[in-house]
């Protein structure tokens, strides 16, 4: 048996292993049945064959017989101990070892031995399945006259059930199989744990629930004895009650209303049969992963009410529909509410009824995803994914769906994503939890498009999707430049989902061609073409400038992922999709043989039908049918000809496409390129100069150039591509004519200036065109004598500045807009200009401080300039954060701004808490604990909150600070994802929605192990959220509240009420619990839910005051603690700076209390209190790799920082002891892409850096392995 695999049975292994190594102890058990001895035992030897030696062979003991070869494991094996029978010592492979076990063998019967290792090195013996099985060699005295002992037989092991639930059961023991070969048995004694419980051959005893090892001893007429053992297991009974919902929905087997009692963990088969007009939906009272199986084999572990939930079928024609209710909307009908409070189904205008997805074991209905391919789906969104779904207990999905779809298409800058949620079911509660009575339904359309980078202009992009067309006027590009969400029909009570507001997502999309899995409209794990668009636009298209790359103005896809489960009994009868005719591309055909006509072939092979086949093709021209074949060959005269192709599918639907064919007299003419104008000087004063011309850039798109002709004034000068000519002094306009292989020609012209000796030509140019003017004028040609010096000038246009002169060889100062040029050769001088942008500085509030550059001023900078900005607070204020800069840099009082557009950068200052005698809670007449709160910041929340100890904590808004995780109630929450921001690298801005849905002033968490799991405490002191109907970020909906959450896993129990008391820093809670299990205590207290922040100083905030702080002044400067590490705290108003749970068996049998004084806390100080004891501001100190800050009490892997990152991030982890450590990175396919650490490391806190520059952008996993600890978290690389 192996300690490393405590539940595994090794009964058929060919080796028997012994090893004594911590965490991997391995022991061996042997059992022999001895019979037919015919005399008394003289000696007994246990012989074993060594399969793999080299170490100590272990120690042999006699053990109890209460085990079976096919069921024994490390957890249930008999205890090895007591008197040693022998030690073989060091053993050698291939040899036998003998152990004298005479003292253990008394005669016939069953004997068991256990072998325990003596060293860390393992030794293997051959098992009975091997070639050399173990042997028990017994020598007996066969002489006459000696009495043979009796043989005891306690009967077969028994399993009985406490059917009357009294806690015990009557059992009959049976020793009738015992015998004596040479006499008679005179007594039978039955005992348990050394205590006699009965005598006689077949006594009746009463045994409690549990496992009983009962020993039988028989004595013969000569006084000799023999023993045997029987195992009797008494199991508890459970009762379950069958029920149906609604009562008229159907029948169950066992019958509804009956109570069935069976042994615990017995497999019970239950069946649901619907009545006419209904179909079976799902079970409640059974594990969620089995909820929708109509016939279910169920293992019952506790008493339960098992309910078969039936769904009424959609109304037949003439019954209640949208039309009969007077609505004009597209949705036809919806089903009655299910037991979960949502409509059982929704029927669209095509008659497709989709049910509410509630089974997390069904990969075709991802019930908690709007985007079915979302890699972040986690079934633990349920309080207990294996417990019955139950809205009352809060064990339900925060959101689920009837229909969902998405489409993804690459763009030049990234991707475009369309997300569709048709019937998103959520719970609209103030604290975003699952609470019955708050059920809500709405439709959602979301567009997210990465656009090419641009600014300073407005571009129009048009998105066409299955449910309409949207137009966006965009002023700047970049990631998620289009980020638009449309929510419709937000309704509670489902009393108007039939009206027109639901038409925006109707009908539902369905896989084409009848290829969807039976019972579903598609499989969300695969992309597929769809049908269902009310406009026939079954695609996702984005049109606009350069969306697909330079000059590519549209991208599109026909592929969607869709999910939706069809109501049983309902039928999908999608309307026929018409075929798509494609007559091929337009053609331009040359009359190659100059006959006046040309033979042309057209083809309709590109036509298709997504849900059937094309049965006929028809080509026509001007209404005249030319052919009924897929292809058409026709002889066409010179001119333009339009042909129409009509295709018809197997359902009779048709579609027509046209193609235009132009037959022209010849081929496409070539393109002549003579090069740029240039100048040369007659250096030898001979009256002429040699020049080389270049036509090599000329081209012919449909053939080749066969001749080049250079001429001047009609006189041919040369006939090659790059001729050398001698030209006289003067200006020469040369013509280039090129001829292709079909005789077509193309022409171009070049001007060559041949200047007299000491005369030179100046060409002027502005770059880019239109960015400014020059003197001499841009585009002009000017002539100067050798040595001439004159001023050239560049004048930028508005929004541009002069950058430099390039190309000139004798420019005095190339960086000056006005400079001297000396003419000593022919020159082309280019004035280059650079775009400028304005930086406007501001402060909030007015008087809060100053900035550098000064607030109220606007400076002009070059494109790409990096400007350093500094904020200096006025007396009574401290610097808070910048807006108008990326959030990754938002909290540094000195930061940089890269000028790539006109920008307004605001320094936000925070007013310090009131001094004594100023406005406080007391001065306002409040009796609450909080002293004060700061003025509202630019994000609409109080800038700080001050507790009764005078600690002022600011509103955390910087995703680059790992000590203030702004989007987490529990700072160690592994689900934190900075991409909760629409754009994590853009400035935080409430008005554009680029802000966190929730953030915090103070938070704390504590966790302690219980007998069956964990107990968790979460504290959120000032949780800042946006209380909007669609859960989005919208200015004006700011809300603050406090939260205390307690979740405790309790031992399994039922049928009684137990009291558990939870003590925490802010009070004591008492819970009366009627059943145990995972999160049996799941309690949340929210207080002071206020909009407007007009009463947060009153007593309703007292439950979380004062804030907790690390003990011993050990917190990082400027913070109350570091949430990445657990630590002792101070601050409880009651002195209860711990988390304790008291109650029956909370820590295990007889252990009635568990507690911890370690907390992870986060909060950033506004500034120091008056006495200067704590200092605010500043960045957190970093732990270098291997550096220790004390020794942690447990292993821990913390979230990388920053996240997302590019390209370097830091990973922290904690080791309570020296250990071999391996830290590696994997992609989402599970493939290892990097190993960061692979070595032995000392106990302490460690941090390492990971460089992802060689990896592609995406989501990765990092995994820490240290001893038996394994931790995994996600990191996001964004390049």
Indicate the pLDDT class of residue 62, thresholds 50, 70 and 90.
very high
pLDDT at 358: 63
Question: Is 752 a member of any domain?
Answer: no
Question: Is 623 a member of any domain?
Answer: yes
pLDDT at 1090: 53
pLDDT digits (tens, 9 = 90+) for 574-610: 556 678 788 888 888 888 777 888 899 999 988 877 6
pLDDT for 1080 beyond 60: yes
Q: And the tokens for 225?
A: 């004895």
Question: CA 498 → CA 147, 348, 361, 391, 486, distances in Å?
Answer: 95, 10, 31, 25, 18
Question: Is 13 a member of any domain?
Answer: yes
Question: Which of 192-201, 404-413, 574-583, 915-924 is predicted with the least confidence, judged by mean pLDDT?
Answer: 915-924
pLDDT for 1175 beyond 50: no
Q: Give 879-917 as a DSSP string.
A: EEEEESS-GGGTT-SEEEEE-SS-EEEEEEEEEPPPPTT
pLDDT greater at residue 1273 or residue 44: 44
| Judgement on whether residues 63 and 14 belong to the same structural domain of the protein | yes
pLDDT for 627 beyond 70: yes
Indicate the pLDDT class of residue 1034, thresholds 50, 70 and 90.
confident
pLDDT for 328 beyond 60: no
pLDDT at 897: 87
Query: By the 8 A CB rule, do 460 and 469 touch?
Result: no
Report the 10 Å Cβ neighbour count for 668. Answer: 16
Question: CA 620 → CA 644, 649, 655, 659, distances in Å?
Answer: 5, 18, 13, 11
Question: Is 760 a member of any domain?
Answer: no
| Judgement on whether residues 170 and 299 belong to the same structural domain of the protein | yes
Query: By the 8 A CB rule, do 126 and 91 touch?
Result: no
Question: Is 573 a member of any domain?
Answer: no
pLDDT at 363: 67
pLDDT digits (tens, 9 = 90+) for 655-671: 898 999 988 876 778 99
Question: Is 580 a member of any domain?
Answer: no
| Judgement on whether residues 824 and 888 belong to the same structural domain of the protein | yes
CB-side neighbour CA atoms (13 Å) of 1270? 2
Query: By the 8 A CB rule, do 751 and 675 touch?
Result: no
pLDDT digits (tens, 9 = 90+) for 838-893: 999 999 888 889 999 999 888 889 888 899 999 999 988 878 778 877 655 566 78
| Judgement on whether residues 953 and 998 belong to the same structural domain of the protein | yes
Top mean pLDDT of 98-102, 481-485, 897-901 is at 98-102
pLDDT for 289 beyond 70: no
pLDDT for 1274 beyond 90: no
pLDDT digits (tens, 9 = 90+) for 473-496: 999 998 889 988 877 655 555 655
pLDDT for 227 beyond 90: yes
Q: And the tokens for 358?
A: 């509630």
Q: And the tokens for 464?
A: 């066409």
pLDDT greater at residue 969 or residue 1154: 1154
Choosing from 281, 311, 341, the residue where a domain stops is 311
pLDDT at 971: 33
pLDDT for 367 beyond 60: no
pLDDT digits (tens, 9 = 90+) for 1005-1014: 899 889 888 8
Domain limits at 860? 782-908
* Helix ranges restricted to H, 799-886: none
CA atoms of 427 and 435, how far apart (whole Å): 7
pLDDT greater at residue 1257 or residue 472: 472
Q: How confident is the prediction for the chain on average, in pLDDT?
A: 81
Return the beta strands (E) in 809-968 as ranges. 818-822, 827-844, 849-852, 858-862, 866-873, 877-883, 894-898, 903-911, 932-933, 944-946, 952-954
pLDDT > 90 in the chain, percent: 30
Question: Is 291 a member of any domain?
Answer: yes
pLDDT greater at residue 893 or residue 1051: 1051
Q: Which residues contact 223 (CB under 8 A, 6 or more apart)?
A: none
| Judgement on whether residues 1131 and 1257 belong to the same structural domain of the protein | no
pLDDT at 1186: 30
pLDDT digits (tens, 9 = 90+) for 526-563: 888 888 887 777 888 898 898 988 878 878 888 898 98
pLDDT at 48: 93
| Judgement on whether residues 1101 and 1153 belong to the same structural domain of the protein | yes
pLDDT digits (tens, 9 = 90+) for 564-573: 888 765 544 4
Choosing from 101, 116, 141, the residue where a domain stops is 141
| Judgement on whether residues 941 and 1061 belong to the same structural domain of the protein | yes
pTM for the model stands at: 0.40
Choosing from 105, 123, 141, the residue where a domain stops is 141
pLDDT for 321 beyond 60: no
CATH number for 1232: 2.60.40.1930
Identify the burial level of 1149 via C-beta atoms within 10 angstroms of its C-beta, where 0-12 means exposed, 13-18 middle and 19 or more buried: exposed
Question: CA 1214 → CA 253, 870, 1008, 1268, distances in Å?
Answer: 55, 37, 17, 14
Query: At CA 1073, angle to CA 1071 and CA 1075, rounded to 5?
Result: 155
| Judgement on whether residues 133 and 259 belong to the same structural domain of the protein | no
| Judgement on whether residues 263 and 376 belong to the same structural domain of the protein | no
Place of tokens 């069956």: 1012
Q: Give 157-207 as a DSSP string.
A: -EEEEETT-SSEEEEE---TT-B-TTS-EEEEEEEETTEEEEESSS-EEEE
pLDDT for 1051 beyond 80: yes
pLDDT for 1261 beyond 60: yes
Query: By the 8 A CB rule, do 772 and 780 touch?
Result: no
pLDDT at 678: 92
pLDDT average, residue stretch 899-928: 65
pLDDT average, residue stretch 260-288: 82
CATH number for 641: 2.60.40.10
Query: By the 8 A CB rule, do 1160 and 1193 touch?
Result: no
| Judgement on whether residues 187 and 298 belong to the same structural domain of the protein | yes
Indicate the pLDDT class of residue 384, thresholds 50, 70 and 90.
low
pLDDT at 981: 64
Alpha-carbon dihedral of residues 1210, 1211, 1214, 1220, nearest 10 degrees?
-120
| Judgement on whether residues 107 and 37 belong to the same structural domain of the protein | yes
| Judgement on whether residues 395 and 520 belong to the same structural domain of the protein | yes
Question: How many domains does one find in the chain?
Answer: 7
pLDDT average, residue stretch 154-177: 92
pLDDT greater at residue 283 or residue 103: 103
Question: Is 1189 a member of any domain?
Answer: no
């Amino acid at each position: 048996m192996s300690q490393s695999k405590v539940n595994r049975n090794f009964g058929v292994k060919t080796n028997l292993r012994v090893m004594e190594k911590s965490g991997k102890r391995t022991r061996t058990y042997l059992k022999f049945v001895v019979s037919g001895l015919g005399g008394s035992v003289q000696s007994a030897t246990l012989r074993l064959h060594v399969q793999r030696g080299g170490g100590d062979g272990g120690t042999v003991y006699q053990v109890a017989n209460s085990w079976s070869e096919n069921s024994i494991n490390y957890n249930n094996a008999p205890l090895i101990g007591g008197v040693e029978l022998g030690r073989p010592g060091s053993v050698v492979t291939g040899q036998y070892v003998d152990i004298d076990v005479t003292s253990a063998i008394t005669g016939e019967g069953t004997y068991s031995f256990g072998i325990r290792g003596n060293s860390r090195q393992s030794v293997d013996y051959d098992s009975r399945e091997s070639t050399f099985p173990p042997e028990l060699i017994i020598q007996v005295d066969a002489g006459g006259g000696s009495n043979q002992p009796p043989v005891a037989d306690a009967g077969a092991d028994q399993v009985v059930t406490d059917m009357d639930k009294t806690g015990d059961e009557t059992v009959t023991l049976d020793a009738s199989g015992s015998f004596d070969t040479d006499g008679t048995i005179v007594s039978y004694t039955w005992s348990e744990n050394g205590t006699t419980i009965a005598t006689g051959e077949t006594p009746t005893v009463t045994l409690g629930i549990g496992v009983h090892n009962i020993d039988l001893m028989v004595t013969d007429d000569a006084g000799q004895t023999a023993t045997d053992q029987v195992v009797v297991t008494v199991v508890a009974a459970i009762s379950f009650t069958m029920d149906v919902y609604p009562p008229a929905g159907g029948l169950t087997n066992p019958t509804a209303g009956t109570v069935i009692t069976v042994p615990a963990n017995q497999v019970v088969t239950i069946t649901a049969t619907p009545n006419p007009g209904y179909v079976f939906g799902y079970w409640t009272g059974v594990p969620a992963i089995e909820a929708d199986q109509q016939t279910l084999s169920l293992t019952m572990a506790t008493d339960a009410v098992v309910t078969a939930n039936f769904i009424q079928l959609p109304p037949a024609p003439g019954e209640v529909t949208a039309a009969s209710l007077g609505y004009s909307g597209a949705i036809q009908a919806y089903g009655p509410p299910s037991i979960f409070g949502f409509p059982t189904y929704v029927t669209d205008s095509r008659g497709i009824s989709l049910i509410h997805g509630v089974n997390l074991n069904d990969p075709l209905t991802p019930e908690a995803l709007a985007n079915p391919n979302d890699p972040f789906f986690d079934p633990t969104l349920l309080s207990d994914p294996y417990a019955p779904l139950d809205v009352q207990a809060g064990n339900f999905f925060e959101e689920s769906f009837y229909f969902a779809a998405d489409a993804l298409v690459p763009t030049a800058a990234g991707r475009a994503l369309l997300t569709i949620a048709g019937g998103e079911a959520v719970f609209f509660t103030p604290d975003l939890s699952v609470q019955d009575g708050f059920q809500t339904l709405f439709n959602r359309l979301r567009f997210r498009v990465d656009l090419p980078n641009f600014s300073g202009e407005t571009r129009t992009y048009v998105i066409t999707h299955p449910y309409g067309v949207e137009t966006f006027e965009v002023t700047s590009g970049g990631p998620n430049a289009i980020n638009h969400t449309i929510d419709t029909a937000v309704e509670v009570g489902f009393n108007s989902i039939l009206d027109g507001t639901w038409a925006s997502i109707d009908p539902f999309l369905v896989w084409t061609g009848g290829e969807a899995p039976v019972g579903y409209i598609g499989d969300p794990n695969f992309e597929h073409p769809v049908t269902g668009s009310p406009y026939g636009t079954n695609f996702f298209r984005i049109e606009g400038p350069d969306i697909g790359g330079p000059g590519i103005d549209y991208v599109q896809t026909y592929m969607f992922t869709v999910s939706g489960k069809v109501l049983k009994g309902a039928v999908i009868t999608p309307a026929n999709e018409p075929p798509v005719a494609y007559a091929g591309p337009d053609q331009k055909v040359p009359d190659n043989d100059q006959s006046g006509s040309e033979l042309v072939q057209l083809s309709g092979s590109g036509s298709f039908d997504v849900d059937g086949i094309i049965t006929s093709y028809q080509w026509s021209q001007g209404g005249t049918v030319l052919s009924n074949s897929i292809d058409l060959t026709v002889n066409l005269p010179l001119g333009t000809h339009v042909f129409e192709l009509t295709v018809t599918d197997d359902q009779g639907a048709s579609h027509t496409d046209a193609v235009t064919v132009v037959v022209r007299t010849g081929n496409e003419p070539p393109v002549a390129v003579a090069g740029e104008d240039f100048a040369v000087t007659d250096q030898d004063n001979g009256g002429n100069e040699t020049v080389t011309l270049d036509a090599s850039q000329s081209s012919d798109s449909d053939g080749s150039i066969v001749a080049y002709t250079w001429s001047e004034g009609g006189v041919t000068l040369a006939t090659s591509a790059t001729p050398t000519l001698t030209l006289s002094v003067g200006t020469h306009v040369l013509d280039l004519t090129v001829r292709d292989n079909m005789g077509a020609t193309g022409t171009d012209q070049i001007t060559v200036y041949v200047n007299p000796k000491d005369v030179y030509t100046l060409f002027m140019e502005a770059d880019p065109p239109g960015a400014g003017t020059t003197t001499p004028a841009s585009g002009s040609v000017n002539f100067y004598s050798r040595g001439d010096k004159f001023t050239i000038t560049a004048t930028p246009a508005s929004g541009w500045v002069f950058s430099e002169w390039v190309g000139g060889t004798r420019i005095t100062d190339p960086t000056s807009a006005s400079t001297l040029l000396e003419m000593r050769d022919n020159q082309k001088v280019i004035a280059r200009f650079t775009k400028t942008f304005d930086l406007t500085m501001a402060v909030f509030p007015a008087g809060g401080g100053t900035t550098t550059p000064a607030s109220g001023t606007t400076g002009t900078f070059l494109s790409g300039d990096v400007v350093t900005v500094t904020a200096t607070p006025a007396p009574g204020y401290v610097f808070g954060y910048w807006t108008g800069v990326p959030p990754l840099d938002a909290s540094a009082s000195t930061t940089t701004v890269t000028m790539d557009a006109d920008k307004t950068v605001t320094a936000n200052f925070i007013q310090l808490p009131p001094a004594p005698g100023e406005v406080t809670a007391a001065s306002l007449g409040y009796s609450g604990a909080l002293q004060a709160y700061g003025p509202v910041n630019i994000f609409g929340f109080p800038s700080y909150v001050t507790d009764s100890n005078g600690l002022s904590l600011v509103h955390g808004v910087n995703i680059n600070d790992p000590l203030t995780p702004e989007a987490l109630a529990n700072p160690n929450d592994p689900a934190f994802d900075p991409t909760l921001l629409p754009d994590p690298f853009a400035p935080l801005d409430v008005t554009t929605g680029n802000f966190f849905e929730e953030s915090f002033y103070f938070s704390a968490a504590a966790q302690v192990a219980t007998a069956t799991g964990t107990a968790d405490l979460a504290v959120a002191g000032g949780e800042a959220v946006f209380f909007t109907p669609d859960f989005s970020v919208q200015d004006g909906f700011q809300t603050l509240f406090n939260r205390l959450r307690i979740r405790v896993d309790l031992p399994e129990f039922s049928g009684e009420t137990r009291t558990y008391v939870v003590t925490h820093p802010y009070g004591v809670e008492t819970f009366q619990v009627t059943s145990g299990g995972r999160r049996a205590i799941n309690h949340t207290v929210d207080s002071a839910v206020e909009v407007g922040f007009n009463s947060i100083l009153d007593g309703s905030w007292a439950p979380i005051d004062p804030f907790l702080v690390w003990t011993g002044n050990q917190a990082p400067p400027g913070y109350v603690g570091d949430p990445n590490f657990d630590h002792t705290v101070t601050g409880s108003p009651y002195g209860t700076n711990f988390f304790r749970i008291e109650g029956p068996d909370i820590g295990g049998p007889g252990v009635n209390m568990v507690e911890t004084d370690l907390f992870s806390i986060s909060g950033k100080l506004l500034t120091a209190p008056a006495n200067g004891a704590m200092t605010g501001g500043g960045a957190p100190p970093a732990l270098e790799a291997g550096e220790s800050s004390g020794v942690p009490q447990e292993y821990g892997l913390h979230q990388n920082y920053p996240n997302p990152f590019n390209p370097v991030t830091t990973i922290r982890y904690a080791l309570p002891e020296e250990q071999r450590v391996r830290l590696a990175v994997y992609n989402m396919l599970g493939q290892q892409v990097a190993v960061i650490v692979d070595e032995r490391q000392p106990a302490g806190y460690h941090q390492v850096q990971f460089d992802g520059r060689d990896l592609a952008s995406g989501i990765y996993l990092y995994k820490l392995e240290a001893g038996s600890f394994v931790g995994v978290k996600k990191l996001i690389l964004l390049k």
